[in-house]
Structure 1
C-alpha cells in the first residue's frame, strides 16, 4: 500500500509541474519547426560553400577563346581580341557599396563574332535624367573576363537598337536576341585587370554561406528562447527552484 501511494504522488507531482497546457502544446509544435529551419539553413550554407569553391576553381583556369569552347559554362575565364562597337547600354538600379548606379553593357566584336560585354559599374549622377559619360577605346583591345548567363526576365529590356545609347531596367533575351550576338544567352563580365573594365566587384552568389549560417544561428537561438519561455511561463520550475 505504501508503494502505491508513493507512485500516485510521483505521477501527480510530474503532472503538476506543467501549469499551462496550451503553451506547452504550442511549444511542442514550434520547437521542432525552429530546429528544422536551423538545420536547413546549415545545409544551405554547406551548399553555398561548395558552390563558392567550384566557382573559385573554375575562375582560376587559364582564359580561353569562347569561340573555341564546345560547351559554355558560367564563370569560365575567356580572352578576346577585338573592339567595342556602338553606344553602351546602361543597366539601371545597380549598387556598389550602397551607391546607386549603372552596369555598362557594350557589344564587343572579335573576328566575326559579337559578344555582349558587361564592363562593370559607374555611379549615377545627381541628375537622374542624364546618363554618366562612358568612354571606350577605338583601337583593338584584348579583354579578359568570364562567361555569365543572361537571366531571361519577363518584359522588354529596351526599346532602343544597338546604335543608340539606352537606359535599360533588365537584361534579358528580348534585348540580346536583337543584337546579332554569337551567343544571345551569354554575356562576358570583365575581370578587374582588364584595362577597359570599370568598377567590377562582382557578386558571384546572391547570398554568401555566412548569411545562411547567421540565419541558422537565429533559428537555433529562437529555439533556445522558446524552451526557456516554456520553462518559466508554462511550468512550476521557478517555485521549485525557490524551495530548494
Structure 2
C-alpha cells in the first residue's frame, strides 16, 4: 500500500515535470518563431527603404503591416498647435519629441519632427523652428500604442504648445479638436535638421529572440536530465524495497 502511494506521488511529480518541460520547449519554439518574424520584418523594411515612399492617401489603414512603411505626401503644418511629447531620452539627455498636425489633401495627420533637448526649466518648453509653408514630407509610418500605466495630464483647456505624456491618438483628437489619420509619420533623418531622428524600426533584434530560445531549450534539457536522474534513483530504491519485502 505504501509503495502504491509512493508510485502515485511519483507519477504526479513526473506529470508536473513533463508539463514544465513541454512549456519550456514551447516557449523556445515561440521565440524562434518571433525571430523569424523579426527577420522577415527587417528584410521588408530594408527592401522598402530602397524604394520611393508610397502616397499617404494610398495607405491601407486596416493593414497589420503599416509599421515602418515609408510614405511621402504634400502638406502644410499647423504651427499654432505644436505638441511636445514629454520624457523622451536621447543619448542620456532628457528632452521632447515635437509633433505637429499637418494638413494634406485628405485631412490631417500627426507628424513627428523628432527629438529636441529640454531647457533648464521644466516650466519652459524649447523654441523650435519649423518651415510654415507647404512642403513635401518623407518619413515612415508609426502606429502608437497606448500605455495604460501612463496617465495623461493634458487637458482640452490647456494652451498651445501642448505638453503630453504619451501618444494616445483618440485623446489627441480631443485636445486638437480635429480628426486625425490613425497613424503618426516619423520624418526621415536630415543632416541639417535641428531635430534628432534616431527611429528604431524593431525593438528587439532577431538575435535576442534566438538567445532566449536557446535559454528555454537549455532549461528544458536540464530539467529533463535532473528528472531522469531523480526518478531513476527513486526507481532503484523501490525495486530494492520490493526485493527486500
Distance 1:58 1:162 in 2: 40
Q: 1:192 to 1:64 in 2, by over 3 A?
A: same
Matched, 1:43 2:10: no
1:174 to 167, 171, 175: 171
Matched, 1:28 2:22: no
Computed over aligned residues only, the root mean square deviation of the Cα atoms, in angstroms, reads: 3.7
Matched, 1:116 2:106: no
Q: Is the 8 A contact 1:116 1:181 kept in 2?
A: no
User: Structure 1: where are the runs of 5+ without partners?
Assistant: 1-17, 240-244
Q: Tell me the alpha carbon deviations over residues 51-73 of structure 1, each in whole angstroms, 9 at most, x when there is no partner.
A: 23223333332135434x26456
- SS of corresponding position for 2:79: strand
| Larger Rg belongs to | 1
TM-score by length of 2: 0.69
- Residue equivalent to 2:154: 158
1:145 to 139, 163, 169: 139
Distance 2:25 2:53 in 1: 45
User: Structure 2: where are the runs of 5+ without partners?
Assistant: 1-6, 237-245
Distance 1:57 1:179 in 2: 35
Q: Is the 8 A contact 1:34 1:223 kept in 2?
A: yes
- Residue equivalent to 1:185: 182
Matched, 1:102 2:96: yes
How many residue pairs get matched?
219
TM-score by length of 1: 0.69
- Residue equivalent to 2:225: 228
